[in-house]
Structure 1
Amino acid sequence: MPVKKKRKSSGSEDPSIRKCKITGYCRTQTPGRLLNPDDQFSSKKCLAWFYEYAGSDDIVGPESMEKFCEDIGVEPENIVMLVLAWKLEATNMGFFTKEEWLKGMTSLRCDCTERLQGKLDYMRSQLNDPVIFKNIYRYAFDFARDKDQRSLDMDTAKSMLALLLGRTWPLFPVFHQFLEQSKYKVMNKDQWYNVLEFSRTVNTDLSNYDEDGACKCAGFLSASLRRCFRVKRLLMCL
């Protein structure tokens, strides 16, 4: 989940370092206390956990979110934070309300840091389910946009697309190049949805690429993008 601040990796070679499956970011994992699987979820404990970060504000904001991410051992930019926001049905990037926290953490059965750490691999695995991924992808549009705008500004759109598709769509570098060179300032919801369909429709070797079809699939794909794909096709034939 992109945020304004970034922290640097420590670079430690300690064997306790665990490599993140999604971002490749490494962070030393501090061993937590062992949990009895028979322990019951506690709403009271979950609420107290929330206030460790929210304080008297009744909301976890950007600064507290960084501390929360540090405690669970995940970088704020890690895609698993987007999955967590989706699970909590959070409406604003960088913020968790008390209602969102309690509802989402109750569904996850997490009332403390250790329980949530134990759910991280499960949340990452959900990205491998095409239907769930599509739901998360669609959620990301409204989650990331300014609420007084109907579209995503292009810088935010590029960051979110890189997070969601950058490591799984082989043709993403070509598409990203198109976005960098295009004159588009925003991306609307239909365009956002169509990019995912486009990424799932066109084969990696471009064998089924059809200019007219691709243009219909993603309505804002202009001639410059089609030229990018023609060049890539020519290079693949060399």
Structure 2
Amino acid sequence: MPRPSKRKAAPSADVDLSVSPASKKSRTKQINKVDHLFDRYSNKSMDLIDPAGIESLCTDLGVLHTDIKILMLAWKMKSEKQGYFSKDEWRRGLKCLGVDTLPKLKKSVLGLDQEVMKSGYFEEFYIYAFQYCLTEDMQRSVDIETICELLNIVLGPQFPTQVNLLIEYLKIQNDYRAINQDQWSSFYRFFKEVSFSELESYDSTLAWPVILDTFVEWLKERVNKS
């Protein structure tokens, strides 16, 4: 007579089989290392990394606080307040980068600009750069001076001549004191699609904001005078 087959007991409903104890221990250790690094730069009274802490972090990373890589680091963290990193944002950013020590973070940050450009996420980062400058509730636009600095940092490396000309125009024009997100988005598309050597092909009837129409007129006058 055949013996009845032995069935394995069903796992208890309250036992979590998705993560092994060893994995949990490793994850906890990694979080502790990330938090320890956060504490190194944070303002203890605020439990935030404030501008002074970011300045110290930049020194240790070997980059200036105005470097695009720091803005990209803020983007990786999805930082909501300019000049500050919360602990949750810090954890999110370092997890995204896959790092938990300063040497690893430094190596990752130094390659961020190349990574973002190659990964196809640059446009997403570009929009974030504008939103990061909205420092007040209900703010919808960014002043011209800040926009000029942001253009130089974010688009200057890709389009140096075009950015210099747009910045020159923005500083002398009197129609706009601030730039909204739609206008900001159009600048990047404009640089990609419009050749400055063939401005006659620019079609103002297309969906370009008025500020770019007047910019092109200014460029044409500049060319004619020269």
Q: Same fold (TM over 0.5)?
A: yes
Q: TM-score, normalised by structure 1?
A: 0.75
One-letter identity of the residue aligned with 1:227:
E
Which has the larger share of helix?
A: 2
Aligned to 1:59: 48
Residue of structure 2 equivalent to 1:69 = 58
Following TM superposition, the consecutive aligned residue runs of length 4 or more in structure 1 with deviations greater than 3 angstroms are: 231-235
Match of 1:128 among 108, 111, 117: 117
Q: How does 1:77-226 map to 2 (within 5 A)?
A: 77-129=66-118, 131-148=120-137, 149-169=139-159, 170-183=161-174, 184-206=176-198, 209-213=201-205, 216-223=207-214, 225-226=215-216
Pair 49,113 (structure 1): closer, same or farther in 2 beyond 3 Å: same
Match of 1:227 in 2: 217
CA contact under 8 A between 2:41 and 2:53: conserved in structure 1? yes
Query: Structure 1 residues 208 and 89 mapped into 2: Cα distance closer, same or farther (>3 Å)?
Result: farther
For 1:71 and 1:151, locate their aligned partners in 2 and report how far apart those are by CA, in whole Å: 33
| Unaligned segments of structure 1, at least 5 residues | 1-38
Q: Distance in 2 between matches of 1:202 and 1:158?
A: 20
Greater Cα radius of gyration, structure 1 or 2: 2
Aligned length: 196
Provide the C-alpha distance between the structure 2 equivalents of 1:146 and 1:110, rounded to a whole number of angstroms.
Answer: 29
2-structure distance, mates of 1:209, 1:80: 35
* 8 Å CA contact retained: 1:89, 1:100: yes
| Consecutive unaligned residues in structure 2, runs of 5 or more | 1-25
Look up the SS of the partner of 2:207 in the other structure.
Answer: helix
In the other structure, the counterpart of 1:28 is none
Matches within 5 A, 1:13-28: none
Letter paired with 1:67:
S
Query: Residues of 1 paired with 2:207 and 2:168: CA distance?
Result: 20
In structure 1, what residue type is equivalent to 2:31?
Answer: S
Higher relative contact order (CA 8 A, sep 6+): 1
Alignment RMSD, CA only?
A: 2.3
Distance 2:148 2:104 in 1: 33
How far, CA to CA, are the matches of 1:209 and 1:77 in structure 2?
36
Distance in 2 between the 1:193 and 1:58 partners?
34
2:201 & 2:47 partners in 1: Cα distance? 51
State the TM-score, normalized to the length of structure 2: 0.78
